[in-house]
Amino acid sequence: MKRLISSCVLALSGTAFLSASVMAAEPASCQNVRMGVVNWTDVIATSAMTQVLLDGLGYNTKQTSASQQIIFAGIRDQRLDLFLGYWNPLMTQTITPFVEGNQVKVLEAPSLKDARATLAVPTYLADKGLKTFADIAKFEKELGGKIYGIEPGSGANTQIKAMIAKNQFGLGKFQLVESSEAGMLAAVDRAVRRKEAVVFFGWAPHPMNVNVKMTYLTGSDDALGPNEGMATVWTVTAPNYTEQCPNIGRLLSNLTYTAEDESRMMQPLLDHKDAFESAKQWLKDHPQDKQRWLEGVTTFDGKPAADNLKLTSK
């Protein structure tokens, strides 16, 4: 009789454990995660980190590279689930109609609090007197009447164009050179090697702050955001996505960074290393980050994430 009771207890315990695991698992619809990514090194790095973690927990993640407008529209149209690179205030004008229409959701807390994005110059140019937005026009001839921006349609380019259109800071005769992050940095690198004058859109976190001795301009009158370009970065999802997929929601909320750490995460990418392999190496070298990011998170099938993360090849 005792043996029979013990067997029953074990069977019931196993059933209870199985039920708990099943209850902890997310709906099947959550397993495929569709992520939008803009071609900015910081967003590529954080998106790779997120995908490595999600895939290692049993999810199937697919990235789609597109402009911010297309990504927000993709979330609205249920073709994408999330986006990790909403820079506020740079993208605020673009995202506002989607937020007001309840077509996307911004998570409650930023993933990065100490970001910055505004116009910058090489420090040797600042030493010559180009230190403020009002100084740019004084160097029009040396600058060739050009300001170097990033990709067309970006929030940064839109705001720079607005300054030019309004002749703000006397910039009415200037031209915005639109290309991409890589194209802009290549132009800056050429100018620096030749000790030429150049004004460009700079931001942190980014390895450019280490690779180029640069100075951010002041006196912007909030043209590129308050507090001389200080910014925050947020995660955007489809409405109700974190309620429908709470385990993913917990992971996204856990994924916070500092500008210094993100800059270090980005450096391998600028050295032409694979973003996913770099993310895996970061997790191996920084177990405290892995532990913090996986706190309270499970695998897709409900097992504790910290003990069951699989960092396999992509």
Secondary structure (3-state) at 29: helix
* pLDDT (0 to 100) of residue 314: 52
Residue 313, pLDDT above cutoff 60: no
Predicted local confidence at residue 26, as pLDDT:
87
Mean pLDDT over 287-293 rounds to: 98
pLDDT beyond 70 at 24: no
Cβ atoms of residues 31 and 61 within 8 Å: no
Mean pLDDT of 270-277: 95
pLDDT on residue 153 = 87
Q: Helix, strand, or coil here: 201?
A: strand
pLDDT exceeds 60 at position 129: yes
- pLDDT tens, residue by residue, 53-79: 999 999 999 999 999 999 999 999 999
- 3-state secondary structure (DSSP) of residue 25: coil
Q: Do domains 30-113+231-299 and 116-230 have the same CATH topology?
A: yes
**Over the stretch 167-199, which tens digit does the pLDDT of each residue have?**
999 999 999 999 999 999 999 999 999 999 999
- Answer whether 45's CB lies under 8 Å from 281's CB: no
Number of residues assigned to the chain: 314
CA distances from 273 to 53, 93, 209, 217, 281 (A): 18, 33, 19, 32, 11
CATH for 116-230 (3.40.190.100, 3.40.190.10, 2.40.50.140, 1.10.3470.10)? 3.40.190.100
- Quickly list DSSP for 213-280: -EEE-B--TTBTBHHHHEEEEEEEE-TTHHHHSHHHHHHHHH--B-HHHHHHHHHHHHTT--HHHHHH
Beta strands in the chain (DSSP E): 32-37, 60-65, 82-88, 105-106, 112-122, 146-148, 175-177, 200-204, 214-216, 230-237
pLDDT at 312: 74
CATH (one of 1.10.1660.10, 3.40.50.1000, 3.40.190.10, 3.30.390.10) for 30-113+231-299: 3.40.190.10
Using an 8 Å Cβ cutoff, are 194 and 262 in contact? no
Indicate the domain borders of the chain. 30-113+231-299, 116-230
Long-range CB pairs of 59-63, under 8 A, 24+ apart, other chains included = 59/30, 59/31, 59/32, 59/33, 59/248, 59/300, 60/31, 60/32, 60/33, 61/32, 61/33, 61/34, 61/35, 62/32, 62/33, 62/34, 62/35, 63/35, 63/36, 63/37
pLDDT of residue 31: 98
pLDDT confidence band for 239 (50 / 70 / 90) = very high
* pTM recorded for the entire structure: 0.82
